[in-house]
Amino acid sequence: MVLLERDPNAPGEWVDDLPVTNRYTFGLAGERFFRVIKEEARILGTHCTRCDRTYVPAAAFCERCLSELTEWVDVGTTGAVETFTLLYVNADGTFREKPQVVAFVRLGDGGLIHFLAEVDPESVAIGMMVEAVFKEPGERLGSIHDIRYFKPMG
């Protein structure tokens, strides 16, 4: 198919990094959502009256009708485990002995993805009620990590 041949002394590969460094704002909705977590340890959603849905994390707009969302509602800090997984693989693809327990916790019509802790991984079940465990006020910086994890209610 080709007429040229590869030089037997050709280096096999060229190795390099792709430098991508970023700074993200939390945005119109994220600014308030995370400030309320940081300052009040409360979780807020925004409600779309047209579609009758409450978005958590709070959104500035409704993805279904594109209305601006201005009605903020407290959705509490407890919810049911909609689904979960025992994650045996690290961010870099290497395997780990003990799994991270990761759950999607239903709050309003959305919810939060976070760790579950203070629970035996084998006993986690869909439908289990869990509550958010916040960091101490002084430790909270305004981030998803202001919630340490969710734990079973009880």
Comparing CA positions, the residue from 86, 74, 90 lying closest to residue 40 is 74
Residues 39-78 that bind other proteins (CB under 8 A): 55-57, 59-61, 63-66, 68
Comparing CA positions, the residue from 89, 151, 92 lying closest to residue 123 is 151
Q: For other proteins, which is the closer residue by CB, 6 or 123? A: 6
Q: How far apart are CA 67 and CA 61, in angstroms?
A: 6
Specify the pairing of strand 78-89 against strand 95-107. antiparallel
Residues 75-104 that bind other proteins (CB under 8 A): 82-93, 95, 99-100, 102-104
Residue 43: Cβ within 10 Å count: 26
Closest CB 153 distance from other proteins, rounded Å: 20
Residues 123-142 that bind other proteins (CB under 8 A): 126, 142
Q: For other proteins, which is the closer residue by CB, 15 or 52? A: 15
Stretch of 31-39, 71-79, 130-138 contacting other proteins, by CB under 8 A: 31-39
Is residue 25 close enough to count as binding other proteins by CB under 8 A? yes
Q: Is the peptide bond before 57 cis (omega within 30 degrees of 0)?
A: yes
Closest CB 120 distance from other proteins, rounded Å: 14
